[in-house]
Structure formats: C-alpha cells, structure tokens
C-alpha cells in the first residue's frame, strides 16, 4: 500500500504536468477536447492523491514504523483520534493534505462550473494544476511522506503533546482550507487575465468561493487562538507570532476584497484593485507557508520547519512575477466604468476601509519581516514582538472599527446632509454616551475606552439597520416581527449576513480590549493553604490548595494539582491543572512534560489557573493565577462571525421565491391555473 | 428615526457598562499609586493588588509518588516574583532560550525552561544593585544585543519599523485622494438643460414609481 501511495504521487506529478500543458494549448486554440482533457487531468490527479492519502492513513493507523513519517509522529499508544490528526501534524503529511484538499476543491470548482465560462475554464484548470503539481513535486523531490527508514523501530516517537488537543484536530485543517481555497478565486482571476475576458463573469464564479475561503480562515484563526489559550498556558490567545501573522494577512486582504468587490459589482469600479487583492491574498497564503516551513523567522511553530521553505519562496516569486506582469499587461482594459460621485458615499467609505485593511496588512508584514531586514541592512538582529504590534496596530484596528460603523450608514453614490443626520444621530449618541459613562467611572485604559465607545457606535449602527429594515417589512407586508426579521435576512443575505459579521467583529474587539485589565500573580501553596486574587470587576477569588495526585491515563502519566475555588466567599467548585508526562508504549517518557490549564469562565471573566510544578518533589505547589476579562466574547464573537459568513454565502433557496410567488398571486400579477 | 432604534443606544450602553471591566474605579487607590520606577501607563497593565499572603503553615507537605514525572522542581514564589516593576521589565525582555516569548511569560509558562528563571534572577540582582528599570534594560541590551528587547529600540534605522505603517497610511490617503480626484475630473460638469432653465429635473413621481424605486433600491443595496 505504501509503494502504491508513492507510485500514485509520481503518476500524479506526470498527469499534472500533462494537464497544465494541455490546458494552455486549450486556452490558446479554443479546442474543446483539449479543455476537457485538462479538466479530466484534475479529476485524475485528485483520484491519485486520494490513493496516496489512503495509503498514508493506512500506514498511520497500522503503525507501519518502517515509514519515517509514521515513526516520527505517532506511537502505538497514541489515541486513534490523534493518530488521524498526525496526517497533517508534520511537514510531509501536511503537504499531502494540502495537495489532496486543493485537488478536491479544484474538482468541485470545475464540476460546479461545468458548461459555464468556457473561455476561462481551460486556464482555471491550468492554474489549479500548476499549484497542485508544485505541491506534488515538493513531496516527490524533497519531502516524501512515504520515505522509508533503513530499519523498523519497535515504536514511534509519538505526537507532540501540545498537538494532542481537540483544537489541534480542527484548527490546522480549517486554516489549511482557508489558505488552499484562495487558490480557486486566484485561478479564476488569472484565467480572466490570460483570456482577456475581464467582465464580471469571473467575479460571479468566485463570489461564494471567496466567502468560503474567508470563512475557513476566520474559523481557523479563532480556533488557533482558542488552542493557544487552553493549551499553551500563557494566559493569552494572540502573541503576534510570525505564523499567526501569516494567517492574519490573507484574512485581512480577503476581507478587504469582500468589501471592494461590491463596488465592482454595483458600479464597475476598482477592477484592477480587486484583481490585485485576489492575487495578493493567494501570494500571502503561500508566504504564510514559506514562513512556517522555512524557519527564516523565529516562531513558536518551529515543529513544522524544514528545508522545503525555499521551494515555496521560488514558487512565491514566480507566481508573484507572473501574476503582476499579467495584471500590468491587461491594465488598459481594466478602466473603471463609472466615477465616484461624492466623497460622502459608501464607495468612498469602502475605499478608506480597504486602505486601512491594506495598511494593517502592511504593518503586520513589515513587522514580521523587519528582523530579517534589520539583519540584512545593519547586520543586527532585532526582535519585533507584541509591544511593537500592539503599538502600531491598536490605533489602526480602532480606525477600522470606526469605519465598520460608518460604512453601512452612508448611502451608495451620494449621501445628502439629511440622510447623514438621520443615519448618524443614534450611533453617535451611543458612542458619546458610552465614552462619557466609561470616563465617568474612571476606566483606566484609554485605548479600551475608545474601543468600547466605538463598539457601542457599531452596535447601534447594526441595530438601527435591522430595526429599520424589519419595521419597513412590518409596515409594508404586515408581517409579524419575528417573521419580518427572518425574511429581511433571507431576502438580503449578503447585506444582513455582513452585519452579523460586523457584530461578531464588535464582540471580538470587546474581548481584545478586555485584556487591558488582565491580572495575574504567582503563589506557592501547601495543602490547605489559600491565596486570593481580585478581578477587575472587584470580585475576590480565594483558592485553597487541596493537594497533588499522580496517576496513569491513556498514553501519559499525570500529576494533577487541585484547588477549591471561592468567589466572594461562595464556593464555586474545584479546579484541576495538570502536568502530563507522555510515554511511549514501553513506558519511557517521550517529550518534556506539558501543562494542562484549568479555566473557569463566565461572560465577564475567566479564572485561569496553571500548575507550574511541585516544590522539591512535595505536594507544595506553585500556581499562576490569572483573571482574564471578557475572553468568552472572543469565542462567541468568532461564532457570530462564522454564522454571519454562512448567512452571506448561503445559496438562495426556494423559500423566498415561493413567498414572492404567493404575493404576486394575491396582488393579481400572476394567474394560477388549476388543473 | 424609529422608536426601536432609540432604544438600542441605551441598551448597548447598559451592556457595555455591565460587562466592561472598570479597573480604575474598583481598584483601591493605594494599589494604583505609581510606586515603581516605570511610567504610570506601563503600570496600568497589571495594577492588581498583591494576593493575600498564604495562611499560617498549618498543613503538611506529603511527598509525591513519582516526583520525576511532575516536571522541573519549582522554587517557592517570593513577593518579588510578583512585583509589578519586575513583571514590566521582564515583559520587555526576550528569553534567549529560543522560545520567542518574553522572560515573564516564558518563566510562568514554559516550566521546563532554565534560561528565563536565570534571566529573572539577573533582573532581580540588577534591581538590587540600584539600577532603574531603563538601566536594567540597557544592561541586558549591552549584554545580548538589541535582539533581547521584545520591540526594537526607537532609534536609528529601527524608527523605520515604527513609522513605515503610518507613512503607508499617509501615502495611501494621498494615493486614494489622487485617484478620487481623477475620477471627479472626468465627471460631466454642465447641469442638465432642463435644470438650467429652472425646470424640475425630473417629472414628479407617482406612488407606484416610488414603490418600484424603493424595490429597486432594496435590490441594489442587498
């Protein structure tokens, strides 16, 4: 089976090269049979990669330790749940995962567009095949998941304990899906440039794909934050690590695109800009892979590093040069079809929103690469960590939050003074009153105060939009309020789904601002001893150390420290933080002991307890106690964001059509002929 | 302006006030006094009062069954480990073990690291010798180079790191301004003939027209 997987990779490589060449010929000559052959090449490559994936999965589940990858990332006593996730836990497996997912999405894109966009599809096949073939080539020539060891070890090394977390089973595939699915809009954009078919056809084809990519990236990023929070034990969820930054950058450019594409759809403007954003998003997704794999920049994600990063750099440079050259070539054909009529219009607001998105992307990119630049220019290494990113990005992020509130309030084309007054009065009132109230109660952090005031501004904006839309339906169609809300959203999914996304962003900002009030302390406690920590709300948590117990569990030896917890004198439960020493099947320790944190959450704050270790082998324990305000707002915000994304991309069903038909019938516009 | 939208502003405010941590209002004034040598803004990050001291030693310390499985043995925490000045200094220093974390985060997170506890002891020793916070940071920079600081010091070439994003923002505004100006330039400037003659620019719309317009606008906005 292993040999079959290896052979499948080689054949897939050859078919990929064949399909790419045939696709180019099909695009040039317009011959339908060549276009069909290129499309079929994609399906064949998918089939071959599926065989290779099945072979690797079988080797993982069968503990075939003759394969280097299996021995490096699994062990006999690794739970099946995590054995499955070992497929993408290491470099080689994740390349195969990337290739099979891209092949699957490519096949889906070709099937969904069968019979449509005939001029574009041969080039779409080419771009997708070239990208898939690149990944296969990296596997075959530099990082083969089926590489064999010269001997058979009795057991594997096992999976890094930090990756043995449910979040890690979902977070990497989601991020990969986000990165990978950008290739579909990119392929249509390049196909439009290559074929010269620069009308809105390619935009229509990628509309749902772009939201899907954005959705996967959003969910992947939030799940990554959650994993970092519950698993790494440092009490935060975002550290501006280069790999985190690498996932944020394409998310920012995709978000910018989702806004600016509306201007192209409605007004025929920003064509060059939108193409640039799609190309940039794809290049940033490859750049993220380069950062993760190359080790060129120091990162906590060093477990994924290897020498293949340089393959990605070459691919990145070639893809960038090719794409932007094409864009330059088609530049004269991409003139705007309309002009901006007023600076006070939604188009202008979106322009500034895009500008801020791109500047934040640039600042993250710049900060991530500045250590390399500094070493190159001055020969001096520097660290660019959270203090820098917070200093630069907090004001930019708040500016973006402000624009999130302004955009929906301004009319398309041109907003009149009366319109502005009518739209802004309540959101601005919400902002001013919130800011004044928080200043009155002496909120100590200025940035947090601004964030909460802007959050109120955006929330009132969204509420106003929903209330006005629902009221209009209630008045016009005499619908009940709940039905009016459902139909309002159902009829304008993109618009109101977007507002739900904005609400999710507000919740995220509220959560981020809460970190300004984080409190933490370290204590050493003997059994029966207590310590206290005061939350920013004034609550007092008292923790009493119960003792330390040790026991074996699954593939690990656990040292658990327990605390009784009281909030303002009321007992609220036991919290248990652990040290886990993972073992192989022969009972030998594998990795360094990992820490499992204990978290007690409510909507307002988390009590976050970390067992640092025992004092001289006794039950006397060192704990780090942290009170993190508003962390659940981040998780719920992520959920709301995802729901909003789903609403926006959900295809139109039959429901509204039936309702519209009934109304038309009642109004006498349509006659029903009963048989 | 609907009544419902009027209700939303106070609701948002109530929610914000109920859920917003009000650190300054609820922290005893004594604990907010700038007792350290760092600026007040830096101290505001972790202004919490120190926890109460553990109760009198009325308990026993049983030995662990397998202490070697419980990770590296920890030293008991001292009051200075929780000192806000020490935390603030360590938050600006990068642990040199290669973990990419600051010293405070590393020593309170990666309990297998021996580098961050050593750097912590060095911070305490330097403070004990009478150095101020900035002198401690300068001493570390001299010892390890700029790489030991969590953010590039704001001087020389490093200023580019701080200014470039805002220069980018400014340049972006200028570029967008030029682009928009270009768009305005090609707009037809002459008013319509009818409008020039003082006539209404368009015929008065009927109710049906307005309804259709509303529907079209809704479709356009969606």
B137 and B89 within one domain: yes
Q: Name the residue facing B100 among A299, A519, A595 (closest C-beta).
A: A299
**Choice between B58 and A340, residue whose per-residue pLDDT is larger:** A340
Burial of A339 (0-12, 13-18, 19+ CB in 10 A): middle
Q: Choose the closest CB to B16 out of A239, A455, A624.
A: A455
> Are A385 and B151 in contact (CB < 8 Å)?
yes
In this model, does residue A282 exceed pLDDT 50? yes
Q: Is residue B39 part of a domain?
A: no
For chain B, counts of helices (H) and of strands (E): 11, 0
Residue B30 clears pLDDT 50, i.e. is over it:
no
Q: Is residue B203 part of a domain?
A: no
Q: Is residue B201 part of a domain?
A: no
pLDDT value for A301: 57
Picking from B48, B67, B168, the nearest residue to A614 by CB comes out as B67
The closest CB to that of A445, out of B6, B44, B65, belongs to: B44
Whether the model pTM is above 0.80 = yes
Give yes or no for A356 touching B (CB within 8 A).
yes
- Round to whole Å and give the CA distance between A407 and B102: 39
Neighbours of B174 (CB within 10 A): 10
Average pLDDT, chain B: 72
Do residues B107 and B164 share a domain?
no
Residues B132-155: what's their mean pLDDT? 95
Mean pLDDT comparison of A156-160, A178-182, B96-100, highest-scoring range: A178-182
Contact B100 A300 (CB under 8 A): yes
Task: Specify the number of domains making up chain B.
Answer: 2
* Pick from B26, B82, B105: CB nearest A538: B26
Residue B141 lies in a domain: yes
pLDDT band at B110 (very low <50, low <70, confident <90, very high): confident
For A531, which of B52, B102, B149 is closest by C-beta distance?
B52
Residue B57 lies in a domain: no
| B97 & B143 share domain | yes
The tokens for A594 are 């990992």
CATH 2.60.98 in chain A is located at 517-632
* pLDDT exceeds cutoff 70 at A300: no
Give the per-residue pLDDT at A213.
Answer: 94
- The string of pLDDT tens digits covering residues A360-401 is 999 999 999 999 899 999 998 899 999 999 999 999 999 999
The predicted model gives A418-430 an average pLDDT of 92
Give the model's confidence band at B177: pLDDT under 50 very low, under 70 low, under 90 confident, else very high. confident
Cβ neighbours of B207 in A, within 8 Å: none
CA distance B164 to B155: 14
Chain A residues lying within 8 Å of B74, measured CB to CB: 524, 612-615, 622
B64: exposed, middle or buried (Cβ count in 10 Å: 0-12, 13-18, 19+): middle
* Weakest mean pLDDT among A169-178, A612-621, B25-34: B25-34
Locate the chain B residue with the closest alpha carbon to A589: B69
Residues B127 and B177 in one domain: no
Residue B68 pLDDT greater than 60, yes or no: yes
Instruction: With beta carbons under 8 A apart, name residues in chain A contacting B99.
Output: 300
Q: CA dihedral defined by A378, A381, A386, A392, rounded to 10 degrees?
A: 0
One domain, residues B97 and B119: yes
Q: Give the residue, A458 or A674, on which the prediction is more confident.
A: A458
Residue range(s) defining the domain that contains residue B181: 155-186
Query: Does one domain contain both B100 and B143?
Result: yes
Stretch B154-159: mean pLDDT: 93
The pLDDT mean for chain A works out to: 90
What pLDDT is attached to residue A274?
Answer: 94
Indicate if B128 and B163 belong to the same structural domain: no
Interface contact flag, B2 A467, Cβ < 8 Å: yes
Interface test with B, best of A242, A428, A536, A558 (most B CBs within 10 A): A536
Between chains, do A613 and B108 touch, taking CB under 8 Å as contact?
Answer: no
Q: What pLDDT band is residue A158 in, cutting at 50, 70 and 90?
A: confident
Helices assigned H by DSSP within B20-64: 23-26, 29-32, 40-43
Chain A residues near residue B137 by CB distance under 8 angstroms: none
Q: Which residues pair with A599 in a beta bridge?
A: A608
* Chains A, B: CB pairs < 8 Å: 352
Cβ A522–B81 below 8 Å, yes or no? yes
- Joined tokens for residue A341: 């009529």
User: Looking at the structure, do residues B175 and B127 belong to the same domain, yes or no?
Assistant: no
Mean pLDDT of A623-633: 95
Let me know whether B140 and B89 are in one domain.
yes
Domain final position from B106, B130, B151: B151
Cβ contact, residue pair B48, A534, below 8 Å: yes
pLDDT confidence tier of residue B12, bands split at 50, 70 and 90: very low
pLDDT band at A456 (very low <50, low <70, confident <90, very high): very high
Q: Which residues of B touch A451 (CB under 8 A)?
A: none
What is the rounded distance in angstroms from the CA atom of residue B26 to the CA atom of residue A441? 9
Q: B110 and B169 share a domain?
A: no
Contact B145 A358 (CB under 8 A): no
Distance between CA A404 and CA A407 in Å, rounded? 6
Give the mean pLDDT of A75-84: 87
B41 pLDDT higher than 50: no
pLDDT surpassing 90 at residue B28: no
Q: What is the pLDDT of residues A463-495, one digit of tens each?
A: 999 999 999 999 988 889 999 999 999 988 999
Q: Which of A280-294, A652-666, B203-217 has the lowest mean pLDDT?
A: A652-666
pLDDT of residue B42: 32
Question: Is domain A517-632 classified as CATH 2.60.98?
Answer: yes
Query: Is there a single domain that holds both residue B108 and residue B145?
Result: yes
Tokens of B173: 């505004």
Residue B191 lies in a domain: no
Residue B96 · residue B148 · CB < 8 Å: yes
Of the listed ranges A102-116, A573-587, B180-194, the least confidently predicted one is: B180-194
Is 50 exceeded by the pLDDT of residue B189?
no
Chain A residues in contact with B79 by the CB 8 A cut-off are none
Residue of B nearest to A552 (CA): B69
Is there a single domain that holds both residue B92 and residue B139? Answer: yes
Of A449, A432, A456, A140, nearest in space to A308 by CA: A140
Q: What is the pLDDT of residue A666?
A: 58
């Amino acid at each position: 089976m292993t040999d079959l997987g290896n052979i499948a990779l080689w054949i897939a490589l050859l078919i990929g090269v064949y399909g790419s060449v045939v696709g180019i010929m099909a695009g040039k000559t317009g011959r339908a049979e060549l276009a069909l052959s290129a499309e079929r090449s994609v399906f064949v490559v998918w089939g071959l990669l599926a065989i290779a994936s099945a072979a690797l999965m079988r080797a993982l589940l069968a503990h075939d330790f003759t394969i280097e990858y299996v021995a490096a990332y699994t062990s006999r006593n690794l739970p099946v749940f995590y054995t499955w996730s070992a497929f993408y836990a290491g470099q080689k497996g994740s390349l195969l995962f990337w290739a099979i997912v891209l092949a699957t999405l490519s096949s889906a894109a070709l099937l969904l567009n069968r019979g449509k966009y005939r001029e574009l599809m041969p080039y779409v096949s080419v771009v997708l095949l070239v990208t898939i073939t690149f990944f296969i080539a990296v596997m075959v020539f530099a990082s083969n998941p089926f590489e064999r060891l010269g001997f058979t070890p009795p057991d594997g090394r096992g999976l890094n304990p930090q990756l043995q977390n449910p979040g890690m089973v979902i977070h990497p595939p989601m991020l990969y899906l986000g990165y990978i699915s950008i290739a579909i809009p990119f392929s249509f954009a390049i196909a439009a440039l290559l074929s010269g078919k620069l009308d809105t056809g390619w935009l229509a084809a990628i509309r749902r794909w772009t939201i899907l990519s954005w959705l996967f990236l959003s969910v992947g990023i939030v799940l990554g934050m959650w994993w970092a929070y519950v698993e790494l034990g440092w009490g935060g969820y975002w550290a501006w690590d280069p790999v985190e930054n690498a996932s944020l950058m394409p998310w920012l450019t995709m978000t910018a695109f989702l806004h600016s594409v509306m201007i192209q759809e409605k007004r025929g403007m920003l064509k060059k800009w939108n193409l640039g954003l799609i190309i940039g998003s794809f290049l940033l997704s490859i750049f993220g892979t380069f950062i993760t794999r190359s080790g060129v920049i120091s990162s906590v994600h060093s477990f994924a590093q290897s020498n293949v990063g340089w393959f990605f750099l070459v691919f990145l440079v070639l893809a960038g040069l090719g794409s932007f050259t094409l864009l330059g070539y088609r530049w004269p054909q991409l003139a705007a079809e309309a002009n901006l009529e007023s600076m006070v219009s939604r188009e202008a607001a979106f322009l500034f929103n895009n500008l801020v998105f791109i500047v934040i992307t640039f600042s993250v990119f710049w900060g991530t690469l500045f250590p390399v630049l500094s070493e190159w220019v001055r020969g001096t290494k520097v660290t660019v960590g959270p203090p820098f990113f917070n200093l630069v990005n907090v004001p930019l992020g708040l500016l973006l939050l402000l624009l999130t509130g302004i955009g929906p309030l301004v009319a398309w084309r041109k907003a009149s003074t009366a319109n502005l007054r009518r739209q802004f009065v309540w959101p601005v009132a919400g902002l001013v009153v919130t800011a004044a109230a928080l200043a009155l109660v002496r909120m100590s952090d200025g940035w947090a105060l601004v964030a909460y005031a802007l959050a109120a501004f955006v929330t009132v904006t969204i509420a106003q939009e929903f209330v006005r839309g629902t009221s209009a339906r209630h008045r016009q169609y005499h619908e009940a309020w709940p039905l009016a809300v459902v139909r309002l959203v159902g009829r304008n999914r993109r618009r109101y789904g977007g507002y739900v996304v904005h609400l999710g962003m507000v919740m995220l900002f509220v959560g981020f601002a809460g970190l300004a009030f984080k409190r933490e302390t370290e204590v050493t406690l003997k059994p029966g001893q207590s310590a206290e920590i005061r939350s920013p709300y004034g609550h007092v948590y008292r923790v009493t150390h119960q003792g330390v117990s040790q026991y074996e569990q699954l593939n690990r030896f656990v040292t658990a420290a327990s605390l009784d917890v009281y909030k303002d004198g009321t007992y609220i439960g036991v919290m248990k933080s652990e040290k886990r020493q993972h073992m192989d099947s022969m009972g030998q320790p594998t990795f360094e002991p990992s820490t499992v944190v204990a978290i007690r959450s409510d909507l307002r704050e988390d009590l976050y307890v970390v067992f640092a270790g025992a004092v001289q082998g006794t039950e006397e324990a060192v704990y780090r106690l942290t009170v993190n305000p508003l962390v659940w707002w981040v998780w719920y915000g992520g959920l709301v964001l995802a729901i909003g994304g789903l609403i926006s991309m959900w295809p139109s069903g039959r429901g509204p059509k039936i309702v519209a038909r009934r109304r038309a019938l009642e109004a006498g516009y349509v006659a029903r002929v009963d048989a | 302006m609907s009544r419902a939208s009027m209700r939303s502003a106070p609701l948002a405010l109530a929610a914000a006030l109920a859920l917003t941590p009000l650190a300054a209002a609820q922290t005893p004034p004594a604990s907010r006094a700038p007792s350290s040598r760092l600026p007040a803004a830096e101290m505001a990050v972790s202004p919490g009062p120190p926890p109460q001291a553990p109760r009198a030693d009325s308990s026993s310390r049983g030995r662990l069954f397998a202490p070697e499985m419980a990770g590296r043995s920890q030293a008991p925490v001292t009051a200075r480990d929780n000192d806000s000045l020490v935390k603030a200094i360590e938050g600006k220093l990068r642990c040199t073990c290669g973990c990419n974390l600051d010293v405070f985060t590393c020593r309170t997170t990666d309990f297998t690291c021996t580098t961050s506890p050593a750097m912590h002891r060095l911070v305490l020793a330097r403070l004990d010798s009478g150095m101020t916070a900035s002198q401690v940071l300068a001493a570390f920079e001299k010892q390890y180079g700029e790489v030991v600081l969590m953010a590039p010091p704001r001087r020389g070439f490093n200023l580019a790191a701080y200014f470039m994003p805002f220069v980018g923002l400014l340049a972006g505004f200028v570029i967008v301004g030029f682009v928009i100006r270009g768009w305005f330039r090609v707009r037809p400037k002459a008013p319509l003939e009818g409008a020039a003659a003082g006539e209404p620019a368009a015929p008065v719309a009927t109710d049906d027209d307005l309804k259709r317009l509303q529907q079209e606008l809704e479709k356009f906005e969606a």
